[in-house]
Amino acid sequence: MSQLSLSHISKSFGDTRVLRDIVLDVEDGSFVTLLGPSGCGKTTLLRIVAGLERPDEGTITAGERIFVDAARGVFAPPQTRRLGFVFQDYGLWPHMTVAENVAFPLKMAKAPKAEIDKRVAEVLAAVRLSDQAGKIPEKLSGGQKQRVSIARALAAKPELILFDEPLSNLDANLREELGQEIRLLSKELGLTCINVTHDRREAQILSDHIALMKDGVFHQLGRPEDLFRAPVDLWAARFLDAGNILPAASVRLPDAAPDAFVMVPRGAFRIDGAEGVPAQGLNSIFLEDRYEVTAELDGHIVKVFSPRFVAHGEPIRLAVDPGDLRRYAAGRAISR
Amino acid sequence: MKKLLAVLALGALTASPALAADTLVVYSAGPKPLSAGLAKAFEAKTGTKVELFQATSGKVMARYQAEKANPHVDVLISASWGHAITLDKAGELLAYTSANAAKVPASLKTGTYVAQGAAALSIAYNTKSGLPQPKSWSDLTKAAYKDQITMPDPAASGTALTLLQGLVVKDEAGTWDLFSHLKENGMIVPGANNAALTPVLQGAKGVVFGAVDYIAMGAAAKGESIEVIYPDDGTVLAPRPLMIPKSAKNVEGAKAFIDFVLTPEGQEMVAAQFLLPSRTDVKAKRPGYDELSIIEFDQAKAAEEAAAAKEKFASIMAK
Amino acid sequence: MPDLAKTEGGQSLRLALFLFSTTILTVIVGLPVLAIVLYALFPHFNELSLAEPFSKLLPSLSDPRLIGATANSLRLSVSVTVLSAVIAVPLAYLRARIAPGLGKAWDAGFLIPFLIPPYIGSLAWMQLLQRNGFVEQMLGFNLADGLYSFPGIATVMALHLFPLIYFTTSRAFAVIGTRYGDVAKVFGGRPLPVFFRISLPMVLPALLSSGLIVFILTIEEFGTPEILGRRFGFEVMVTAIHAKFSDWPIDLSGASVLCLILILIAFIAYRFHHKMSARFQTAIDNQSVDARPAPLSPPVQAAIFAVFGAVFVLAVAAPVGTIAISACMDTISGGVTWDNLSFRNIEGLFDSGSDALGAMLTSLTLAVLAAVLTGAIALVVAFTVVRLRSKATVFLDFLSILPNSIPGMAVAVGLILTWNMAFWPVTPYNTAAILLLAYLCLMMPYPVRMITAALRQLPKSLDDAAYISGAGELTVVLRILAPLLMPSALAAGFIVFAVSTRELVSSLMLAPPGVETVATFVFRQFDQGSINSAMAMSLVTIIVSGSIIAFGQRLQGKASK
């Protein structure tokens, strides 16, 4: 698939406008995540791409093929779009074994039996579940179920794979692990993927590009580092938890407007500078290789990375270079 | 598509929906041995196939009513003379007098319908109940029978209605008085004929006021401890009409069937069920016309006051 | 929402499924009901005439008897529903706490009341409790006054219908598990308040839907009020309707008017249930069934056993035992003595001259066909209503439960009016097929409700995954949904089978000449005064249909392993 193009997609349910004028181009082999709070329209958009919903306006094309053209009444049903889909609740059929679940898309494509068996073995090996082929889904753990779901999505060698919050039903450890696996697999196989999630961590693990959505429109588009380093406004900054949001005055930023805010990444604060704003330590957590210190600064709670432990109640000083923070006035970012 | 499937699937069980001219459709009240026996014998004799629908008189009439848009029935046999009176009044019956009806008493035939046979109303009492044998209707108001009496509901039972009408014609004031006393004596009215008879058979009650005699006699023949008494002060006959609706398709067959029922052979089948054959020259297996004290009355006229009579009865019996 | 427009091939199949469901339900349910409605409005409709329109409405509706009968119907239905719940809910709750093997045995036992026709059950209770009845013959006292009273009739009906609530809520209790109760106990909750404040509200949806069915079944029940109610002057709507159908002069049109009222009441009950269900929608966050709860001490187990046993004796042993004894009595008046007992009645059924075997075969065949066909139709209707949501599906949904509110007699008349028309090129009227149509009409609600409820539990992702994998609608229905819905379809099929074998009133009206069902046979025996022969036939039927169901359930159990 050379490219998936969404052009001016709009959708309403009754009186509620769920998607407005969405435009998106997905490059071949890239992993795009639609990230946003519940109700922002991301799942609807995914289902529209899959053909499980129809847009009111707009077109979707995949290279030469038209998925949907609302104005001309063209609609390709999901069966014809050559997609894979991984569901949040796994969507595995309880009355079929793992192998039968995975084989189903190939059966629908009327592939010969020998080919089906070969391919099923292939994809099960790719997700490391070869020894579970004969089991029924009920007997598997959450992580295993999700892998079966991925295997099934891969079985018919689709051009595009869609993920609907694939990691949200899993425990935290598993989320990381499976997330990394999905990313590796997508790169190894050169898959084009679209993922939907409200979890920023999931977006960070999986994506080449993130589309941050709010109220049915794309709020910000870019690579993960672009979004997290430079959220376009305070809402984005808060949703992404990209850093500490404080009034400019609290960090004693000179030449800042009275209603200006700043975003200070956790690593941008320095503790123990001789200068710096006074703050009070509240808690320290050790994360893999450094501490994350929670402190109170000028009435605001901030989180700071620190090489050392800070005790509850310990007075500290926090300093930041003006170049390391981002300014926002009236909610929108202003250039540094 | 579904219809076809259903029809095909049940091919083995269905009667042919297409009725040829040599088929006769009969809707009859019970008893089953009689209606089935007459149908079989007629078939054997004439070769005409008889399609018999046998149910209570009420259901027979209801089916006839419901089918009016596309009628099927050729012969209607009811256990209630009142049905014939009403249908005739509405002009729905075909006039026919069978040659074999010569020996049928005048009270059991008209220009449009004739009796197959007749039941008589009686007192049926459980011989194991220890109760004294009642001799007249009014005996049942005595203290010995307190809370032991059932009676079929005239609203549900054509025969009970006939009894009620006959007694009213004979002595109106006295009859309503009688029923008031019976009510005071704990008589219950639990439903149609069988709802009144079964408790007496089972021993829960002792005596039925207005039992249909042939049913009780049939039970006694089977070994039940029940005896039929005809009261001194007279009782009524409940003739069972044979009717040909004007909408009948096989009129010749219908007439032949009625003729057959009125032959000695047919009448003997009637008698076998302990009914009174309508022909006086066929011997009955129970007390016949001469031995019964019958209250004669104009049933057609009484039919006009039927609703009022039922209502008055119901109001006396209400709590 | 999925469109029904025909743009690509797949969409036309949706339309076809939708049209199929609508047509089938309209033919089976809609036409007879429409006929009844028209007959109520146009009293000469049976002659295909629209003369004297509405002339029956006012006289029928202003009948003073009607108000009393309606009040009685409502009073009885509410009482029976409440009483059934009072019996069923504690049993359902305790069911989760006894050993699975014992629990299954009780379950099987509590299926038996379904197989007993209500009129036979009432006759049995009469024989048991009346003056000189079995109890008096054996123990010296009778409970006639108790039986022939409002509490008596309500109890008899509740003992017959409580299994409906029992089965639905015990399943709900099992799904909830003891987890929520444990949570409450940890925070100091005592058993009784825990039950009322936590467990009971969580099974409320199941309770409401089964309670609705009990309510509607009670209000349209004929046999018990006719037999027991008459003894103390208690009239309900259905007996009043029946009187109009059978007491001379017959008033079919007036009866149809009363049927309209019944339909209205059912509709109101249905809407009420809808609103209540919406309000009490509890989301249970994890549908897993718990590990076995902690075992209970022997005295408690014994007490639970006693409770189940007592209900079993009342609901099953007493009526079935009475039926069995009656079946073995040579004469009715002979009483329960050794020399009056023999197998003569039962043997008589198998005589060559008897119609009993033919009737049994007819009933069983029709019942199996009804079970299979309603199941298949319900599958398609459920798919249409749940997955292809649109405005018209509300109409389908209502059509599918409408028959529950219509007495069998009305269905019979409606079917006669519909199919006994000269203009049909081929008609099921006067064939056994019309009986099948009557059963399909009467039984349709059970599989449709049960399969629809089960389908609602299946997440849409199962369908979507199949579509994306290349499956069309028909493949989804046949290969994905049908196998998963099979347990519900089978359960519904057993219910349809059981109820069809004993259906009485429409069978009496519609059976063509030469066709007998078990119920018509039994009824005729009773009408001829041979009550014990009727009991014998009922006993044999109960045993045969019970065995078939038991066998079927074992097969089902084996298949799901």
- Is the domain of B113 the same as that of B169? no
- Is the domain of C376 the same as that of C334? no
What angle do the packed helices B32-46 and B264-272 form, to 10 degrees? Answer: 160
- Is the domain of C219 the same as that of C239? yes
Handedness of CA B7, B10, B15, B16 (dihedral sign): positive
Which residues, in sequence order, are CB contacts of B170 under 8 Å at separation 6+? B234, B295, B297
Q: Mutation target for C interface from B25, B202, B315: give the one with most C CBs within 10 A.
A: B202
Do C529 and B205 count as a contact with CB atoms less than 8 A apart? no
The Cα C561–Cα C556 span in angstroms is 9
- Domain that includes residue C376, residue range: 12-35+353-561
| pLDDT tens digits, one per residue of C124-179 | 999 999 888 888 888 888 888 899 999 999 999 999 999 989 988 887 787 666 66
Within a domain: C469: yes
**What CA dihedral angle connects A17, A23, A28 and A32, to 10 degrees?**
-50
Indicate whether C108 pLDDT > 90.
Answer: no
CB atoms within 10 A of CB C47: 14
The Cα C47–Cα B302 span in angstroms is 29
The Cα C551–Cα B3 span in angstroms is 30
Averaged pLDDT in 10-residue chunks for chain B of 319 residues: 50 44 86 91 93 86 84 93 91 93 90 93 92 92 93 89 91 92 92 88 92 92 91 91 95 95 94 93 88 87 86 84
The Cα C474–Cα A108 span in angstroms is 12
CB C239 within 8 Å of CB C222: yes
What ipTM does this complex have?
0.86
CA of C494 vs chain B CAs: smallest distance (Å): 20
Confidence of residue C308 (pLDDT cuts 50, 70, 90): very high
pLDDT at A292: 92
- Is the domain of A275 the same as that of A328? yes
The number of C-beta contacts closer than 8 angstroms across B and C is 183
Domain count, chain C: 2
Within a domain: C3: no
Last residue of a domain, one of A236, A258, A287: A236
Q: Is the CB of residue A91 less than 8 Å away from at least one CB of chain C?
A: yes
Do B14 and C431 count as a contact with CB atoms less than 8 A apart? yes
Within a domain: C42: no
Which residues, in sequence order, are CB contacts of A299 under 8 Å at separation 6+? A250
Query: Tokens representing A259?
Result: 């209603």
- Is the domain of C88 the same as that of C131? yes
Q: Collapse the DSSP code of A220 into the 3-class scheme (helix H, G, I; strand E, B; otherwise coil) and give the result.
A: strand
Which segment of A250-259, B37-46, C68-77, C304-313 scores lowest on mean pLDDT? Answer: A250-259
Which segment of A152-156, C29-33, C42-46 scores lowest on mean pLDDT? Answer: C42-46
- Is the domain of C141 the same as that of C122? yes
Of residues A259 and C117, more confidently modeled: C117
Paired sense of beta strands A244-247 and A261-264, if any: antiparallel
The Cα C363–Cα C346 span in angstroms is 18
Q: Is the CB of residue C338 less than 8 Å away from at least one CB of chain B?
A: no
- Is the domain of B137 the same as that of B271? no
CB atoms within 10 A of CB B93: 22
Within a domain: B289: no
Handedness of CA B312, B313, B317, B318 (dihedral sign): negative
- Is the domain of B62 the same as that of B170? no
CB C244 within 8 Å of CB C69: no
- Is the domain of B36 the same as that of B105? yes
Query: Tokens representing C291?
Result: 């590990």
Amino acid letter, residue C33: V
Within a domain: B6: no
Instruction: Report residue A259: phi and psi, to 5°.
Output: -95, 15
pLDDT at A32: 95
- Is the domain of A49 the same as that of A155? yes
Which residues, in sequence order, are CB contacts of B55 under 8 Å at separation 6+? B27, B29, B30, B63, C508, C509
Residue B237, H or E segment: strand B237-243
- Is the domain of B54 the same as that of B165? no
- Is the domain of C335 the same as that of C223? yes
| pLDDT tens digits, one per residue of C502-550 | 888 788 878 887 788 998 888 878 877 788 888 999 999 899 888 888 8
pLDDT at C532: 86
Q: Which CATH number goes with the domain that contains A231?
A: 3.40.50.300
Please give the full DSSP string across A8-64, using - where no structure is assigned: EEEEEETTEEEEEEEEEEEETT-EEEEE--TTSSHHHHHHHHHTSS--SEEEEEETT
pLDDT at C519: 86
pLDDT above 70: percentage of residues in chain C? 90
Termini Cα distance of chain A: 40
CB C12 within 8 Å of CB C3: no
- Is the domain of A326 the same as that of A180? no
The Cα A45–Cα B197 span in angstroms is 76
SS (H, E, C) A121-143: HHHHHHCCCHHHCCCCHHHCCHH
Indicate whether C190 pLDDT > 80.
Answer: no
Last residue of a domain, one of A196, A214, A236: A236
SS (H, E, C) B175-205: HHHHHHHHHHCCCECCCCHHHHHHHHHHCCC
Within a domain: C47: no
* Nearest residue of B to residue C421, measured between CA atoms: B70
Q: Collapse the DSSP code of B43 into the 3-class scheme (helix H, G, I; strand E, B; otherwise coil) and give the result.
A: helix
Please give the full DSSP string across B128-153, using - where no structure is assigned: TS-PPPP-SGGGGGSGGGTT-EE---
Last residue of a domain, one of C314, C343, C372: C343
Do B70 and C130 count as a contact with CB atoms less than 8 A apart? no
Q: Collapse the DSSP code of C153 into the 3-class scheme (helix H, G, I; strand E, B; otherwise coil) and give the result.
A: helix
Within a domain: C434: yes
Within a domain: C381: yes
| pLDDT tens digits, one per residue of C339-357 | 888 888 888 888 866 788 8
Within a domain: B282: no
- Is the domain of A87 the same as that of A197? yes
- Is the domain of C282 the same as that of C395? no
Please give the full DSSP string across C282-335, using - where no structure is assigned: PPPS--PPPPPPPPPPHHHHHHHHHHHHHHHIIIIIHHHHHHHHHHTBSSSTT-
pLDDT at C288: 47
Please give the full DSSP string across C31-95, using - where no structure is assigned: HHHHHHHHHHHSTTGGGT---STTTTHHHHHT-HHHHHHHHHHHHHHHHHHHHHHHHHHHHHHHH
Angle at C145 between CA C140 and CA C148, to 5 degrees: 125
- Is the domain of A52 the same as that of A135? yes
- Is the domain of C75 the same as that of C205? yes
Q: Is the CB of residue A152 less than 8 Å away from at least one CB of chain C?
A: yes
Within a domain: B243: yes
The Cα C528–Cα C522 span in angstroms is 10
The position carrying tokens 């007279």 is B234
Domain count, chain B: 2
The Cα B26–Cα C322 span in angstroms is 37
Within a domain: B290: no
CB atoms within 10 A of CB C382: 29
- Residues pairing with B23 in the sheet: B49
Do C464 and A75 count as a contact with CB atoms less than 8 A apart? no
Give the sheet arrangement for strand A290-297, strand by strand.
Answer: A270-271, A315-319, A277-287, A290-297, A300-306
For B155, the closest of C132, C243, C508 (CB atoms) is: C243
Within a domain: C40: no
- Is the domain of B57 the same as that of B143? no
Q: Which chains touch B (3 or more CB pairs under 8 A)?
A: C
Instruction: Report residue C91: phi and psi, to 5°.
Output: -60, -45
pLDDT at B13: 44
For C509, the closest of B10, B17, B63 (CB atoms) is: B63
Question: SS3 breakdown of chain C: % helix, strand, coil, rounded to 5?
Answer: 75, 0, 25
Within a domain: B8: no
Confidence of residue C280 (pLDDT cuts 50, 70, 90): low
- Is the domain of A174 the same as that of A245? no
Of residues C197 and C262, more confidently modeled: C262
Q: Collapse the DSSP code of A104 into the 3-class scheme (helix H, G, I; strand E, B; otherwise coil) and give the result.
A: helix
In angstroms, the Cα distances linking A220 to A164, A217, A307, C206 are: 20, 9, 33, 47
The Cα B117–Cα B134 span in angstroms is 27
Provide mean pLDDT across the span C227-233: 87
pLDDT at C184: 66
Which residues, in sequence order, are CB contacts of B306 under 8 Å at separation 6+? B82, B161, B165
Q: Which CATH number goes with the domain that contains B173?
A: 3.40.190.10
CB B240 within 8 Å of CB B277: no
Nearest to B212 by CA among B135, B150, B256, B127: B150
Q: Is the CB of residue A14 less than 8 Å away from at least one CB of chain C?
A: no
Q: Is the CB of residue C288 less than 8 Å away from at least one CB of chain A?
A: no
The Cα C499–Cα C494 span in angstroms is 9
For C465, the closest of A80, A91, A156 (CB atoms) is: A91
| pLDDT tens digits, one per residue of C460-484 | 899 999 999 999 888 898 899 989 9
- Is the domain of A135 the same as that of A225? yes
Indicate whether C8 pLDDT > 50.
Answer: no
- Is the domain of C366 the same as that of C234? no
Last residue of a domain, one of A236, A265, A292: A236
Averaged pLDDT in 10-residue chunks for chain A of 336 residues: 84 91 92 92 94 93 92 91 92 94 94 94 92 92 92 91 90 87 90 93 91 92 92 91 88 79 89 82 90 91 91 89 82 60
- Is the domain of B107 the same as that of B180? no
- Residues pairing with A16 in the sheet: A13
Residue C173, H or E segment: helix C150-176
- Is the domain of C334 the same as that of C372? no
- Domain that includes residue B185, residue range: 119-236+299-317
- Is the domain of B136 the same as that of B251? no
Q: Which CATH number goes with the domain that contains A299?
A: 2.40.50.140
- Is the domain of C241 the same as that of C360? no
- Domain that includes residue A77, residue range: 3-236
Last residue of a domain, one of C343, C373, C394: C343
Mean pLDDT of chain B: 88
CA of C423 vs chain B CAs: smallest distance (Å): 10
Domain count, chain A: 2
| pLDDT tens digits, one per residue of B129-184 | 889 999 999 999 999 999 999 999 998 888 999 999 999 988 899 999 999 999 99
Count of residues in chain B? 319
- Is the domain of A222 the same as that of A102? yes
Last residue of a domain, one of C343, C367, C395: C343
- Is the domain of C288 the same as that of C406? no
- Is the domain of C107 the same as that of C190? yes
Instruction: Report residue B276: phi and psi, to 5°.
Output: -85, 115
| pLDDT tens digits, one per residue of C490-510 | 888 888 898 888 888 788 878
CB A184 within 8 Å of CB A133: no
Q: Which CATH number goes with the domain that contains C30?
A: 1.10.3720.10
pLDDT at A334: 65
CA of C470 vs chain A CAs: smallest distance (Å): 4
What angle do the packed helices A142-155 and A172-189 form, to 10 degrees? Answer: 20
CB < 8 Å to B70, chain C: 420-422
Q: Collapse the DSSP code of B109 into the 3-class scheme (helix H, G, I; strand E, B; otherwise coil) and give the result.
A: strand
Do B86 and C249 count as a contact with CB atoms less than 8 A apart? yes
Mean pLDDT of chain C: 83
